[in-house]
Amino acid sequence: MSGSPPPPGGFVRRVGLFQATAINMSQMCGIGPFVTIPLMVTAFGGPQAVIGFVAGAVLALCDGLVWAELGASMPGSGGSYVYLRQAFRYRTGRLMPFLFVWTAMLFIPLIMSTGVVGFVQYLGYLAPGLGRTAGDLIGLGVIALVVLLLWRGIEHIARITAVMWAVMIASVLLVIVAAATHFSPNMAFTYSAGAFNVMSHHYWLGFAAGLTIGIYDYLGYNTTAYMGAEIKDPGRTLPRSILLSILGIMAIYLLLQIGTLGVVDWHRMTDPHDIAATSVASAVLEETWGRGAADTVTVLILVTAFASVFAGLLGGSRVPYDAARDRVFFRPYAKLHPRHQFPVLGLATMGVITAVGFLIGRHTDLATLIQLLTTVMVIVQALAQIIALTVLRRRRPELPRPYRMWLYPLPSVVAFAGWCVIYGYADRNSPGRRPIEWSLAWLALGCVAFLVWARRERVWPFGPKETGEEVGAGRNALEVS
């Protein structure tokens, strides 16, 4: 049964529906919309930028249904690692789950890096004289504090997350309410000529860039899937936490985007020297309730950003643990803290990569960092996982499925198409940066690492290809069936 105790030395199921939804929403919201609204407006060239958040919501919902079915049927720690291992072990042995963990060790910390970049960006509103070196040191200090707070048992972390979730809700609601008190429909809904010209190549370039920014803002709806071994009644809680968090954040984002456009002239958001381009939420509060209110809400936004990084590293640090425990990744990652039972090396590694990504983001730009992390995650996680859902329905019809995707396979098709658009337009929206080439280079390096690891472990292609049910996700599924 789903409430059965975990195996000795494993995780403990202590996270309920409210806490699971709070973890997802804290990771999803964070600093994202507060720093990407200007990016979205710049991509679309006007207030029609709301299209980007709607498109991102549609993609998140469709992809979320994929996560919901897979997470409910195989609620082990590691998320995609578990699903890819079950689906692709018949043809490529342990290659796909290894590559997922390899790419996740990069794109998850990069997502956290954007949150810390946004944190320092908004801190600049409270301290206009903050220099680059001081900002770098503060950002690194924030990352160190997050790792320190996560260096404890999950029951304490769940309580901390619930508090930070409340602060996140308060910060976005205050911005939404402030915008509503001074809302100008003329500013929010006046579009330039050709704003919706779908026959224009520039429109689709803007749409692809907006879709990338939009899905980045929704990333995190799958955080609890990485923590499946710590979720109470995962067959019901996981799907509900995913869907509730997406719908809740979608409502928040639309109100936030439209409200902001009704208070701050969108032209200001495209001027890198204007405060509205770097701290748009603070600009809204300053325009409506004055500087004092703006300072107060900015502090809440900083807490929200911190909560996002906290929740992201909480879930992400679990990814390599189960893979290493099942001999699909480097063995040292299988060790848990002897007292608090959290994955020590996974947390430490992702903390270090988050710090490196933060410094890279500070010395390039946020849009480029977003393009890079999305292209890195598309092939092995997004596209391969959608394929895995179909493969498992055909190969494993007997697999317990407490939740089944609504309108299957339509959401899968929509999600697959959306991720392909994001990947296909990545280089065009980042001229000179070449995120596709970087993502392929990282994937190729992962293939080399797999061959080295496989030779040491004497598995396919240097040994037998395991296709039995005795390992990996099969064990995770049995634990909760």
Please name which of 345, 414, 384, 302 lies closest in space to residue 84, comparing C-alpha atoms.
384
Phi, psi angle pair for 336, to nearest 5°: -100, 155
- Is residue 295 pLDDT above 50, yes or no? yes
In which region does residue 110 sit, left (phi positive, over 0), alpha (psi from -120 to 50) or beta (all else)? alpha
- Is residue 76 pLDDT above 50, yes or no? yes
Torsion of CA 303, 304, 305, 307, to 10 degrees: 90
The pLDDT value recorded for residue 431 is 65
How would residue 442 be classed by pLDDT, with cut points 50, 70 and 90?
very high
Q: What share of the chain is helix, strand, coil (3-state, %, to 5)?
A: 75, 0, 25
The residue length of the chain stands at 481
| Lowest model confidence (mean pLDDT) among 52-61, 220-229, 246-255, 377-386 | 220-229
| Lowest model confidence (mean pLDDT) among 9-13, 90-94, 336-340, 397-401 | 9-13
Tokens of 189: 């809904």
pLDDT tens-digit profile of 374-406?
Answer: 999 898 889 999 999 999 999 889 888 999 998
- Look-up: residue for tokens 């005795």? 470
Give the Cα separation of 157 and 147 in Å (integer). 12
65 CB-contact burial (10 Å; exposed 0-12 / middle 13-18 / buried 19+): buried
Distances 38 to 42, 220, 267, 280 between C-alpha atoms, Å: 6, 21, 9, 7
CB 329 within 8 A of CB 80: no
- Is residue 6 pLDDT above 70, yes or no? no
**Which residues is 336 bridged to in the sheet?**
343
For the whole model, what pTM was predicted? 0.83
